[in-house]
Structure 1
């Protein structure tokens, strides 16, 4: 079968790899000049299979206002909010208050995360790309008793799903992470030893190179502008040269025919979805990161450590430290306020003083494709020959390997390895 994939981020490339391994002929269309140049470029570096959860959380709704008004709070919003931002927030509020939905979606996402870990281990064993990847675990810190109780409650669900976790005292935390010597308050932490790390962009580009050797065609600097349908099914995409990620260039288009199509375009999936006849409520949730060379490896985190006060993630990537933070609702504003970077740096240095050279750090901002309830969109659109693999929010790197395999299973009419009810494309219709 000839399959066209739209998007060459980590989700699109892992999908291309899964489909070509199944014997399909795959073409990937990407508006930028290479794979992994958008959200995959500067994300947190964590593959947190046991630390995935829905965006629409009742607890998050309660904390939203204090976070917004606190200068270093992890949630920010451009004022006045745009109509699109307001619609997204209203939908989030509705899903967060739906009885039992958060618990159902969290369980479903953790099951998907566990499957993704299995898929990643198989993928790494067969390809062994160099991306500073390892599986040395994740630690979520608690600076007060209330946070500790919440983490201990989460451990019960992890135990129920067979995901290994450990509650660690401050002394045990410092044994696991010797660099954890900052003066920030610490009462304990939840460790998930099977979670992983890695440079998502390096992984994506290494896997894209492997895909090319397997026969996948990548059409970079190419934009989808129209869709041709025949008897209710998509027959072809109309393509034009892109303009370095800006508006598509004017000129003659070419037609790319295929038997099936997969939308993996991240935050652009909403716009492209309209051309494909879909209404996808995906919002570009903005985040920031700093990637700094290590000053003293002994003072740096060994894997991924999450500071509960700032919601800043610090991840070891070989001889670098990646620190990521903030959830900002500002549409596609790429401005990087220095205050955001200062907060990220403060959070890391309060836990791992002297670990990284932030004076020579690379800064980044990007957009996570978030659905208003939280789970990604994985499945077939109606009874069409269009498949969706998008809307992964902050967990695209974590869930990419599993969602790619699931798309392959759906295309080949195999029984999905994970129940897809929580991820079905039609769940937003009212």
Structure 2
């Protein structure tokens, strides 16, 4: 079967990889000159199944009001006269209950754990390299109130059989020795030993090369303008280079997925939530992080990627823009500078922003649509890298008519009906 995959970020490329493994003739189309040039380019670098948690959580509305007045706020809201933004915000607020949080977190952990296992298999079968490390993730709490608040996450982790460790300050320093140089308060931490790290951009491009060697066609610099349909089926993809046709179509265009399918009457509740990162060259390895540390106070991830430190995070709801305000960079520098002082040259850091495709319940949309030959693999929010291999394998199974190895019915677009 001929399959067109729209989008060459980490979700599109992993989808293409598993589709060709399933025996399909696969073509990937993207507007960028190379894979992973947008959301997948410089993300935080962590592969953290255990930390797969919804942004929509009990207490978030009250916290959001407090964050609005913080100098280094983890959430930035720039409301506009935009009905899509308003609908998405209201839908997110409806998910800020304990019941919905537990349901959504279990969905996310299910996909993320499955994805981590598929990544391990892929690494073993191909030898793919991407500055990977397998030393776990440490969620660090600067004050006791944050430490006390992790109970709900521990309950879900325990129920799902995800290994974890609760650490005091000394335990955190034992895991991340660079913290010994920090004067910041450290109340404790939650460590997830099975989590991994790696450079998503390097991985995506390396996998694209492997896929191309196996027959996947990549068409870059091709803008996707929309989809055409007839008699209830998709008949083609309209691009600036002409109409492209296939037997099946997979939309993996991240935050731009709603616009791609809008003309078909499909409402995909994905909205761009902007994130920021800096990439810092390491100048003192002994002071640098060993793996990934999640600074709970600022919702910032600090990750070791070879001879660099990737510092990424925050959530800015401001629509489709890639501006780089100095205030956001200051927050990233403050987080890494106070926890790992002297580890890297902040003045030489590169600065980047990307648009994460976020659903109101933080769970990705993976599966069929009412068009029998159109499938979605989008809405992964901050966890596209964590969930990529699992999502790619799931969508390949669904397109092929096979039953995936995990429950996927509640991941489809139909759950919003």
TM-score, length of structure 1 as denominator length: 0.94
Aligned equivalents of 1:151, 1:96: Cα separation in 2: 16
Task: Report deviation, 1:383.
Answer: 5.0
1:357 match: 345
Cα 1:175–1:61 change in 2 (3 A) is same
Instruction: Report the Cα distance in structure 2 between the residues aligned to 1:279 and 1:383, rounded to whole angstroms.
Output: 13
2:81 and 2:300 mapped to 1: Cα distance?
A: 24
State the 1:278 CA deviation: 1.3
Offset from partner CA, 1:45-97 (integer Å, 9 cap, x none): 00111110123212322211101121211111225564332222111112224
- Contact kept? 2:226, 2:261, Cα under 8 Å: no
Equivalent position to 1:388, from 369, 376, 387: 376
Q: Distance in 1 between matches of 2:182 and 2:361?
A: 36
Q: Which residue of 2 aligns with 1:303?
A: 291
Q: Distance in 2 between matches of 1:73 and 1:342?
A: 11
Q: Do residues 235 (structure 1) and 222 (structure 2) align? A: no
Counterpart residue number, 1:18: 18
The Cα RMSD (Å) is 1.4
Asked if 1:105 corresponds to 2:93, the answer is: no
Q: 1:27-46 maps to which residues of 2 (within 5 A)? A: 27-46=27-46
Q: Is the 8 A contact 1:18 1:405 kept in 2?
A: yes
Change (3 A) 1:361 1:105: same
- Does residue 327 in structure 1 map to residue 315 in structure 2? yes
Q: Distance in 1 between matches of 2:314 and 2:294?
A: 12
Q: Deviations over 1:147-174 (max 9, x none)?
A: 1122244223212212111111211111
State the distance in 1 between where 2:123 and 2:112 align.
16
Q: Could you tell me which residue of structure 2 aligns to residue 95 of structure 1?
A: 95
**Aligned-residue offset at 1:371:** 0.6
Conserved? CA contact 2:30–2:219, under 8 Å: yes
**Given the superposition, is the C-alpha separation of residues 22 and 80 from structure 1 closer, same or farther in structure 2, using an over 3 Å criterion?**
closer
Map Cα deviations across residues 345-392 of structure 1 (whole Å, 9 max, x no partner): 011111111111111000001100001111000110025211100000
CA deviations 1:297-346 (Å, max 9, x no partner) are: 11011000011211111000000000012110111121111111111101
Distance of 2:377 and 2:196 partners within structure 1: 22
Counterpart in the other structure of 1:318: 306
TM-score (norm. length: structure 2): 0.97
State the 1:280 CA deviation. Answer: 0.8
Task: Please give the per-residue CA displacement for 1:149-201, whole angstroms capped at 9, x wherever unaligned.
Answer: 22244223212212111111211111111001211111110000110111101
Equivalents in 2 of 1:275, 1:213: separation in Å?
A: 35
What is residue 225 of structure 1 aligned with on the other side? 225
Among 335, 356, 372, the alignment partner of 2:360 is 372
C-alpha contact (below 8 Å) 1:152/1:167 kept by paired residues: no
Alignment correspondent of 2:400: 412
Equivalent residue pairs, number: 416
Give, in whole Å, the separation in 2 of the partners of 1:236 and 1:107.
Answer: 36
Alignment correspondent of 1:251:
none
Give the whole-Å Cα distance in 2 for the aligned partners of 1:349 and 1:32. 34
Corresponding residue number in structure 2 for 1:166: 165
Specify every segment of 5 or more residues in structure 2 that has no aligned partner in the other structure, as ranges: none
Kindly indicate whether residue 269 of structure 2 is the aligned counterpart of residue 269 of structure 1: no
The equivalent of 2:6 in structure 1 is: 6
| Distance across 2 between alignment mates of 1:325 and 1:7 | 23
Shift of 1:224: 2.2
Structure 1: 5+ residue stretches without partners: 242-253
Q: Secondary structure at the match of 2:229?
A: strand
